[in-house]
Amino acid sequence: MASGFFAILDDIAALMDDVALTAKIATKKTAGILGDDLAVNAEKATGFLSSRELPVLWSITKGSLINKLIIIPIALLLNLFFPVAIKFILVLGGFYLAYEGVEKIVEYFFHGSNEVHQVAAEVKQEDKDAEKAKIKSAVATDFILSVEIVIIALGTVLEENIMVQVVTVSIVALLATIGVYGIVALIVRMDDTGYKLINRSDDKGILSMLGHVLVKSLPLIIRVLSVVGTIALILVSGGIFVHNIEYLHHVFPNIPSVFKEFALGLAAGLLAVAIVTEGKKLVSLFRS
C-alpha cells in the first residue's frame, strides 16, 4: 500500500519536472505574441473614467480566462482529430485582427483626429452600453490572441503525452492572462498612484517629483500604446497569414519578415474593412 502511494508521488514529481521544462520552452516561444497582446489590450483597456478602469479591466480579464477555458479543450481535441481546422481558425482570426487594426487607421484619417474621438469617448463613459461594447470588443480581440498563444504553446509539446500537453498549455495560458492584465492594471493606475504620491508628500521632495512624472507620463503612454497596439494588430495578423498559408510563407523571401507581415496584414485589413463597409451599406439599403 505504502509503495503504491510513493509510486504515485514519484509519477507526479516526474510529471511536474516535465511540465516545468515544457512550460519554460512554451513561454519563451510565446514571448513575442505576449508583447503584442500586452500592447493591444493596454490600448483597449484605457480611455475609461478613473472609477471604471479597474472594474472594466476585471471584466476583460474574466472574459480572457473564459476564452482560454473554451480554447484549450477545443484546441487539444482539434489537434487530435482535425488539426487542419486550427489553421482555418487562425486565418479567420487573422482577418479579424487585421480589420481591427486597419479600421483604427481609417477612423483616424477619415473620421477626425484621435483627440476628438478621445473626448467623445470620455463623454460617453457613463453610458453602460458603450462600456459593454468596448469590453466585448476587447474580449473578442483577446480570444483571437489567446488562440494563437494556445496554439504556439501546444506546438512546443506535441511530442509529449496528453497530460503534459494539458498542464503545460494551461499554465502558459494562465501566466499569459495574469501577466498581461497585471501589467495593464499597473499602467492604467499610474495617474492615481502619482496623485497619491503628490498628496502624501505635500507636493514636495522626490516622491512629489515621481508623482508628477507618473501623472504626466500616462497620457503619453496611452498615445504610444494606441499606435503600438494598432501596429501590433496588423503585424500579428500578417504573421498568422505567413505562418499558416504555405504560399505566403515562401513569397518574397528576400523581404524582411516584419515588412512582409505588416504589408499582408494591412492588405487583409483593407479588404476586410471594404467588405464590412459595403455590407453595412447593403443592410441599410435593404432596411430602407
Show the cell assigned to 10: 514519484
Query: Cα 185 vs. chain centroid, distance in angstroms?
Result: 14
Cα–Cα dist 134/127, whole Å: 11
Supply the Cα-derived Rg of the chain in whole angstroms: 22
| Cβ count near 34 (within 10 Å) | 19
Domain residues for the domain of 42 are: 2-287
pLDDT by residue for the chain (288 residues), tens only, comes to 445 544 454 445 554 555 555 656 555 555 556 666 676 667 666 666 667 778 888 888 899 899 999 998 988 888 888 888 878 888 888 898 889 889 888 888 876 544 444 444 444 445 677 778 888 888 888 888 888 788 877 777 766 777 878 888 888 888 888 888 888 888 878 878 888 888 887 777 888 888 888 888 877 887 787 788 788 888 888 888 888 888 887 888 888 888 998 999 999 999 999 999 888 888 888 876
Cα–Cα dist 140/64, whole Å: 9
Burial of 74 (0-12, 13-18, 19+ CB in 10 A): middle
Cα–Cα dist 191/214, whole Å: 6
The total number of structural domains that make up the chain: 1
Q: What is the DSSP string of 119-146?
A: HHHHHTTT-HHHHHHHHHHHHHHHHHHH
